[in-house]
């Protein structure tokens, strides 16, 4: 049997802040049966709408549609154009109108099939359609599996910034099937891996060396490693988001690498993929942590050398002028009174906490020094 068909061990994590809201995250490879069971359970007496993008729809949508129909479930598929550029109000309105046109009622169950964009958009449609209907998330990118499908943040971008309109809306279940990652380009795998690396760096450090064992070109050849990375990220993120659902405190630690990361995304016109932006962000913010005496030079070097193995290098940072990066950080949601805030790394596996706070004001002069020292 080829490695492609091997069914890995199935793992389930229970998420949800309150007992009455518990929902499963099912992780494994070849989860057709598990997905069907979830949809049968959550979709009982409901009409099902698969929401996906045109690209995923073509590769995996028809397959899912047929399999659910074969099981006698009333299901339809609706898609929107792929890409971050379509994660907006226009797409949400089009999807809401399409559901209304097809007379989907309050008995709707939405199945979000796709990457982070689909999860965010379809989840937001679920949160708002007829004042809220349930949804099941089926992430198909590594980034969506390790990060965006967990925690219930849904939403869209506006001309004023990324994720500036949205809601907290928890799914009824998340089914993470590794088989969707078959044939994915290396860049897409590294993109997702960076969020997993971030979670590990800030929370336990164990996944950090594990990431180096992953076959980036054919991740399913190292399916066991992949499963452990996804499981570990999902478990950590679930714990953090349960303790702080609305990002009032601890959840902010997941923003490590994101102050600089969001600035780079903005400067690139959102052409730089989110995970890569976070990768460069982690590099700069680790340097800031070192300059502030929070992170040891030895551990900074380890972070830098490990990120370099994934192609996250200082060379790419040179594309963005230091002044512009600094200016763009002021648009970050964590900015207070014009001072940018940063999550600081204390060691591989923990962040710096002061007076119970996870994000700290850092003077522009320190950020500038970090950027200049990395690019020169």
Let me know if 274 is a catalytic residue: yes
238 Cβ partners below 8 Å, 6+ apart?
A: 13, 15, 25, 150, 151
Nearer to ligand NAD by C-beta: 151 or 281?
Answer: 151
CB of 115 to ligand NAD, least distance (A): 2
Per-residue binding letters, 133-162, with ligand NAD (x by CB under 6 A): -------xx-xx--xx--x-x--------x
Distance of CA 169 to the CA centre of its chain: 15
Does the protein bind ligand NAD through residue 87 (CB under 6 A)? yes
Which is nearest to 134 in space by CA: 51, 52, 194? 51
231 Cβ partners below 8 Å, 6+ apart?
A: 11, 13, 27
Binding ligand NAD by CB under 6 A: which of 118, 178, 190, 211?
118
CB of 276 to ligand NAD, least distance (A): 10
Binding ligand NAD by CB under 6 A: which of 80, 104, 180, 276?
180
Q: What are phi and psi of 170, to 5 degrees?
A: -80, 140
Binding ligand NAD by CB under 6 A: which of 34, 53, 285, 290?
53
User: Partners of 336 in the beta sheet?
Assistant: 339
131, 271, 305, 354: which one is catalytic?
A: 131
Cα separation, 225 vs 369, whole angstroms: 37
Nearer to ligand NAD by C-beta: 236 or 295?
Answer: 236
87, 179, 237, 334: which one is catalytic?
A: 237
Nearer to ligand NAD by C-beta: 17 or 292?
Answer: 17
Does the protein bind ligand NAD through residue 114 (CB under 6 A)? yes
87, 251, 334, 360: which one is catalytic?
A: 251
Distance of CA 314 to the CA centre of its chain: 24
Cα separation, 247 vs 213, whole angstroms: 32
Give the gyration radius of the chain's Cα atoms: 20
The count of other CB atoms within 10 Å of the CB of residue 336 is 10
Let me know if 84 is a catalytic residue: no
Cα separation, 158 vs 164, whole angstroms: 6
84, 98, 242, 247: which one is catalytic?
A: 247
With CB atoms as reference, the residue minimizing the distance to ligand NAD is 116
For the chain, give me the number of helices (H) and strands (E)?
15, 13
Which is nearest to 173 in space by CA: 64, 45, 38? 38
Let me know if 247 is a catalytic residue: yes
Let me know if 299 is a catalytic residue: no
Let me know if 182 is a catalytic residue: no
User: Binders of ligand NAD among 232-291, rule CB under 6 A?
Assistant: 274
Q: Where are the alpha helices (DSSP H) in 29-163?
A: 32-42, 54-56, 62-70, 89-101, 116-128, 142-143
Binding ligand NAD by CB under 6 A: which of 65, 117, 127, 253?
117
- Candidates 1-9, 73-81, 82-90, 344-352 — which segment interacts with ligand NAD by CB under 6 A? 82-90
Let me know if 88 is a catalytic residue: no
Residues with catalytic roles: 131, 153, 195, 237, 247, 251, 255, 258, 262, 274
Q: Return residues touching ligand NAD (CB under 6 A).
A: 53, 55-56, 59, 82-84, 87, 114-118, 120, 140-141, 143-144, 147-148, 151, 153, 162-163, 180, 184, 191, 274
């Amino acid at each position: 049997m080829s490695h492609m068909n091997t069914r890995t061990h199935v793992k389930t994590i229970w998420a949800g802040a309150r007992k009455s809201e518990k929902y499963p995250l099912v992780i494994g490879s070849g989860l057709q049966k598990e997905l069907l069971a979830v949809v049968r359970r959550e979709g009982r007496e409901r009409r099902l709408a698969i929401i996906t993008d045109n690209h995923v729809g073509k590769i995996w949508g028809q397959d899912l549609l047929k399999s659910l129909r074969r099981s006698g479930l009333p299901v339809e598929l609706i898609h929107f154009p792929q890409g971050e550029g379509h994660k907006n109000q226009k797409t949400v309105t089009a999807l809401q109108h399409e559901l209304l046109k097809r007379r989907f009622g309050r008995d709707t169950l939405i199945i979000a099939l796709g990457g982070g964009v689909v999860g965010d958009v379809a989840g937001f449609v679920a949160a708002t359609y007829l004042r809220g209907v349930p949804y099941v998330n089926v992430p198909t990118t590594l980034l969506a599996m390790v990060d965006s499908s967990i925690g219930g943040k849904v939403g869209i971008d506006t001309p004023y910034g990324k994720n500036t309109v949205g809601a907290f809306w928890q799914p009824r279940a998340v089914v993470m099937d590794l088989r969707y990652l078959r044939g994915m380009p290396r860049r897409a795998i590294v993109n997702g891996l960076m969020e997993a690396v971030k979670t590990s760096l800030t929370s336990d450090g164990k996944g950090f060396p594990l990431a180096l064992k992953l076959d980036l070109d054919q991740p399913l050849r190292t399916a066991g490693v992949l499963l452990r990375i996804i499981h570990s990220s999902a478990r950590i993120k679930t714990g953090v988001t349960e303790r702080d659902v609305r990002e009032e405190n601890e959840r902010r630690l997941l923003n490590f690498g994101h102050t600089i990361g969001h600035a780079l995304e903005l400067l690139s016109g959102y052409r730089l993929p989110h995970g890569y932006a976070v990768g460069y962000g982690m590099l700069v913010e680790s340097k800031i942590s070192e300059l502030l005496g929070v992170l040891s030079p030895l551990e900074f070097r380890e972070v830098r050398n490990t990120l370099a193995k994934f192609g996250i290098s200082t060379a790419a940072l040179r594309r963005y002028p230091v002044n512009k990066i600094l200016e763009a950080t002021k648009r970050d949601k964590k900015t207070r009174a014009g001072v940018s805030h940063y999550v600081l790394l204390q060691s591989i596996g923990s962040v710096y906490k002061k007076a119970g706070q996870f994000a700290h004001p850092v003077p522009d002069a320190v950020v500038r020094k970090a950027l200049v020292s990395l690019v020169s």
